[in-house]
Amino acid sequence: DAGVIQSPRHEVTEMGQEVTLRCKPISGHDYLFWYRQTMMRGLELLIYFNNNVPIDDSGMPEDRFSAKMPNASFSTLKIQPSEPRDSAVYFCASSYALAGGPRDTQYFGPGTRLTVL
């Protein structure tokens, strides 16, 4: 398997523009996670899905952030409008199970480095 695939790898945009980040999880994984990593706050969970259904979006910082998973092989994280403080590396991860056993290992994608000017 190719692992978790994210696109684009780098995105530079101007404040106020819409940004869409994409993720293809590992085939067969029922759980998909979106994380954000910054120097100040470290790696934070934004939202996660189970079988394409959003389960917990309490980590989403504001209404400007939204995430969708239209099918088992694709998810998007959208920021509209973007702001400079959204600059970070955004990771997508997937797993077979949620917690408690060898199948709960989360596999991370390479991340999207977002810069909002």
Partner 1 sequence: TQLLEQSPQFLSIQEGENLTVYCNSSSVFSSLQWYRQEPGEGPVLLVTVVTGGEVKKLKRLTFQFGDARKDSSLHITAAQPGDTGLYLCAVSNSGGSNYKLTFGKGTLLTVNP
Binding residues vs partner 1 (CB under 8 A): 4, 33, 42-45, 48, 55-56, 59, 91, 93, 98-100, 105-106, 108-111
Q: Say how many C-beta atoms besides its own lie within 10 A of residue 14's C-beta.
A: 11
Question: Min. distance of Cβ 35 from partner 1 in angstroms?
Answer: 8
Strands 112-116 and 10-13, bridge-based pairing: parallel
Contact by Cβ (8 Å): 99, 93: no
Cα dihedral sign, 12-70-92-57? positive
Question: Min. distance of Cβ 4 from partner 1 in angstroms?
Answer: 7
Query: Nearer to partner 1 by C-beta: 4 or 79?
Result: 4
Question: Min. distance of Cβ 10 from partner 1 in angstroms?
Answer: 10
